[in-house]
Structure 1
């Protein structure tokens, strides 16, 4: 089991550590509920240094990224971030990722922790262009500072104008006296904020500076438990739950980042799938009956016939009701359609809703 560089710091803060994606990670420090509300209403910090980072450089960098990813990276400009995914050759998803354009011929790819080796090998196996690649995952720490008071907290530490940064853009500059920090207006909570990339040797100094700056707001460390409820309230997919090697990205709601204006791995088959019409869709649902939907619970029709299963589910701290996502046949995918969740042989009523569950 790997550990993040600040492992001992988290243990010292009383975090409950659990295995996740091959790492021992903090799942909570106080309670999932308290940490969830801290991010939605104030400011919290996640140590997500388990995530993977690859540099792709050289005159063939863009050609490689265009081939292995479904979104159109040619639309990027310096300082712009793009959400995308790596399609496989069987109409599934190798991984979803972020693509950062640092400058012409220089990109940063940010991938899921559980897929670092898989993604590296996949991209390398398709690197017939000879783009330069460097895996900097083990040398990089990543902190997600999220919530309405994230900007006010971090602005104390830098001369860069954070409030002027658009969503899904980034800057590289000085923060907390540390040079060459990547400050990215991205996140996985829907609560606003930034993700801060820093070299391992500066990680502890950055963490402490962030907490000193946020002290007046009651800043708190936040674990994976709240990260999951926060992302689910916004309808964000989790790789391994809602999308994976077997799920169609089009059925999984990733059509908006699938650009058929260019060729990419398996684009012809995905285009044919789209033209033939999708047979099922990933949908969000809210519980009408009392109950908490959990992963792999059956999604059924009124007669109890199985339609699919829950891919992600929880009790929403914001809405105070059960919410979840899962795949259903397209005829059941319309908003307000009635479905049932099978919980201990009982059918509990739910309705399909338009994502996100929690609006801004």
Structure 2
């Protein structure tokens, strides 16, 4: 259909309202690119799909689309050998789980109240439970790699925690000493970079051994790593490097699993987008108090109590409109500001 006609009909405004009812980015894309179809059978299919979603929403509420994201960029990077971040892998697991839940949700409704079109789409959703489980076993809901992701990572982090505890104990012994306290700006332990330090007054620098890592803006305070913990801090740095290498290995392993399932997951995104789009149309129809029209190809139009969809229902005046059969023309009257366009 001509863009000028769509603009005159304020079609983009309707689409904007429709997009707001989509639960996922996938459904939003489907809504944004939908245009009227001149094919009668396609129009009937679209209307039936909306009607099924309307019924499903009325019977069981919204489908469980939570967690579903557009993971296409991550999947494509995985396929070409890139290593995905923990957050990207978490999105993949959440999307896989969301697809499985949507499939089950629609299937359960279909058993009692047939939804032939929606069920036809839902049953094509591939389940990737093994991938889900593998990712959730390694990455928590905040997108952090867990200790349990591998025995090596657990051992490294255990040693890290013990090392940090020993450094803190050593420094706390120092800052509780009366002879050291007089040299400190504050009796606290802090970090500069990944090194544990304490704040020493500038005038005591010559009396205080260790490495200076930073100073305050005024220069009155030096952040010094005491010589007694230098070796311990060095060991922490080595452990953190080992931790980073182990995390990289875990992410690479999970990325490889995601790459193996990429085709199924990409197809799932298309299917989930169509289902979310149908639910969005159903929710907009409910908001507008719309009814399903009966379509024909005989050039006949009959509208009963039709309302402009962008005018609040409490303000609009419903009208009956009939064109075709006994009526070959229609005259629109009213004042110049009456919106006759």
- Place the TM-score, normalised by the shorter chain, in its bin: under 0.3
Higher normalized strand content (fraction of residues): 1
Structure having the higher Rg: 2
Higher normalized helix content (fraction of residues): 2
**TM score, norm. by length of structure 2:** 0.22
